[in-house]
Amino acid sequence: MCPETGARAGVVQTPHGAIETPMFMPVGTLGTVKAVAPRTLRAEVGAQIILGNTYHLYLRPGREVLRAAGGLHPFMRWDGPILTDSGGFQVFSLAGLRTLSEEGVTFRSHLDGSAHTFTPESVVDTQRDIGSDIMMVLDECPPATVDEAYARTSNARTVRWAHRAFAHLRSTAGPGGEGHYGHAQALFPIVQGAVYPDLRRESARALVDLDADGYAIGGLSVGEAPEVMYETVALTTPELPADRPRYLMGVGTPIDLIENTARGIDLFDCVMPTRNARTATLFTTEGQMNVRNAKWKADFSPLDPGLGAYHAQFSKSYLRHLTIADEPLFMEIASVVNLAFYVGLMKDARRAILEGRFPAWRREWAERVRRRL
């Protein structure tokens, strides 16, 4: 652990392999990281774990298909660890299409309008069918603008749901905690409380009683200023067990990853690398760039020789040609480059922590980000 900050380097053991932290998890919402094959994720991006989404996988291909396939690992041919979000964020984003109660949440599919219900217990069951190594409890993720009274009510319900989810898991798991496919599945509760410090502390303390294998922090990067996010993380992590992994959900920019690593976060995920790839915005070790810009038209230098990935060695001119011509290959190259940058950033952070130079490394990157990214 860094003696000047809260940054830590650890190892999370899962049935499908170890995860060296801090680590960024590529988002594979529907059982696929957009435009990137699992072999490429492992060999070139350097991903140790990926994330799937319970809401989307529940709707398609559906629990029956996943169960028949033996779970998501063989279905998508990924042999590494998988973490699944509970789908709560997606459900609560369906404004006007969902109804909340103490029992759970009833919602209408964004695909066909069909009605469905998620409860703390059914969300665990769905993730058992998926077979993920790390599961999330059902929670409510209110917007940053919610008032304190609602945040308190919402947070109390999320805590009750977490206790129900753990009770259900423990009553249905095998003698060694096994799920359907013979391996144990960890379940993380999610700290909520919006941007209210007292609620965040209350939430964390109530969830620590569950003695979970790890803890998630949700409800951030939903509209609040970055400084508020950092302050909220800084006051939450000391409330969580020091010997368990901490996962900050849905965050964020490169500087967000660095700053929250400094505050004791171990796992991150965000759609930004692949989403930005779709708009031709690339993250490189030399800075952020939009490869559609005309100045790259005859620039035959490698996109990012400092990254090391095969896909980063194509020329800027060639990548501009691909995106202007709307060639599908561009999405593969751009996605791999952005993901390799994010995963590499966290590997560099880990190395800096282990070598005792994290504070200097953090300052260097902060300055680089301010100048270019």
Residues with active-site annotation? 85, 269
Give the Cα-Cα-Cα angle 211, 117, 102 (nearest 5 degrees).
55
In the sheet with 134-136, reading across from the earlier edge strand, the strands are 50-53, 82-85, 134-136, 186-188
- Amino acid letter for position 46: G
Three-state DSSP state, 149: helix
Which string of DSSP letters, residue by residue, matches 247-292?
EETTB--HHHHHHHHTTT--EEE-SHHHHHHTTTEEEETTEEEETT
Instruction: Return d(Cα 293, Cα 83) in angstroms, integer.
Output: 37
Determine contact, residues 69/76, Cβ cutoff 8 Å: no
Could you tell me the two tokens for 97? 């299409």
Q: Which residues contact 178 (CB under 8 A, 6 or more apart)?
A: 184
DSSP code of residue 142? -
End-to-end CA distance of the chain: 27
Q: Which residues contact 246 (CB under 8 A, 6 or more apart)?
A: 214, 215, 216, 217, 237, 240, 264, 265, 266, 267
Determine contact, residues 216/191, Cβ cutoff 8 Å: yes
Determine contact, residues 129/66, Cβ cutoff 8 Å: yes
Instruction: Return d(Cα 15, Cα 22) in angstroms, integer.
Output: 19
CB 97: neighbour CB atoms within 10 A? 14
